[in-house]
Amino acid sequence: MPTLIDEATKILRDNKLKITKQRKAMLDYLANNAKHCYVDVTKIDEYMRKTFPRMSHNTIYRNIDEFTQLGLVERQAQGDQAAVCFQCDFKNEHHHHFVCNQCGKVIELENCPIDPKIMAQLGGCQISGHLFQIYGECADCVNSSI
């Protein structure tokens, strides 16, 4: 089984992006902190600045954008903040999540709930995407609060 990092570096290579020290460090950070949970992009920025003091905020945010565009990470807005989590399924890029409000854990949902009837109501529109997410408390958090 290739690790998340193996799959991610392969995608970088396939897209002709160099595996720089910085990109490698960001992947490591994400694999350790953003696997099946969302981490604020500001936290990634903080970590990268600590590790590479000469790296600019612009470069860091550009790298995060690249990762998002390549599908290495999944991005979502939380209020004013953006957060990313490591792609939970490289084979099924289109999928939805349950997100725990307490611990931030992410569970991948196997089904997409979009009904063809909805699409029929949008005849003539060009659809570029949709959002669907379930929130709540994961089983671990439910059990620990009893």
All residues at 6 or more sequence positions from 36 whose CB lies less than 8 Å from its CB, including other chains = 85, 86, 88, 105, 106, 107
Give how many residues touch Zn ion by CB under 5 A: 10
DSSP label at 119? H
> Is the dihedral angle over the CA atoms 78, 56, 23, 66 positive or is it negative?
positive
Binds Zn ion by CB under 5 A, chosen from 17, 88, 107, 109: 88
Applying CB under 5 A, does 5 fall inside the site for Zn ion? no
51-80 positions binding Zn ion, by CB under 5 A: 74
What is the closest distance, in whole angstroms, from the C-beta atom of residue 146 to Zn ion in the complex? Answer: 13
Evaluate the CA torsion angle 14, 2, 89, 84 in order and state its sign: negative
Interface residue with Zn ion, options 19, 103, 119, 134 (CB under 5 A) = 103
Footprint of Zn ion (CB under 5 A): 74, 88, 100, 102-103, 105, 108, 112, 138, 141
